[in-house]
Amino acid sequence: MRQDLKPTLDHSAAVAAQLDDALPLFLDCDHNPDCVFNRYVGASQGIERAALNIGAATQDVRGALPKMLLTWNQIGTAVGGTAGNVERLTKPHWYDRLIGYALNGIVIYRNLNPITNLTLKGAQTMSARP
């Protein structure tokens, strides 16, 4: 069994040796155990503060989310109402066609009756003079 585990143990020993050599260089502690411990404590306190801040942020989001959803629903309702108004205003109605037909009829009548044009021009000329 020792022969079977020998490559694994050798490899683990090599990894541990590399880690022992790299850790002080990485932490810049010059083989000082107190320095490594202080770095660990500082990092763990930073992680703890970050976790507390994340917890506080989720509480803030939990409190603000219902108000935001209500606001978004109100905005959606307002946009839907505005879209309905725009659609209603842009669709032609029966009276739009009636007004168009009446104006076309007036233009056709004026073009077919030249005496009407003369009468209008005379009335405009007479009213322009004091």
pLDDT digit string, tens, across residues 60-106: 888 888 888 888 888 888 888 888 888 888 887 778 888 888 888 88
pTM for the structure as a whole: 0.34
Judge whether 39 and 27 are in contact, CB under 8 Å. yes
Query: What does the pLDDT read at residue 129?
Result: 62
92: left (phi over 0), alpha (psi -120 to 50) or beta: beta
Q: Is the pLDDT of residue 114 over 80?
A: no
Query: How far is Cα 7 from Cα 121, in angstroms, rounded to an integer?
Result: 115
Residue-wise pLDDT for 8-49, tens only, equals 777 777 777 776 666 655 556 666 666 667 777 777 887 888
Query: What does the pLDDT read at residue 68?
Result: 85
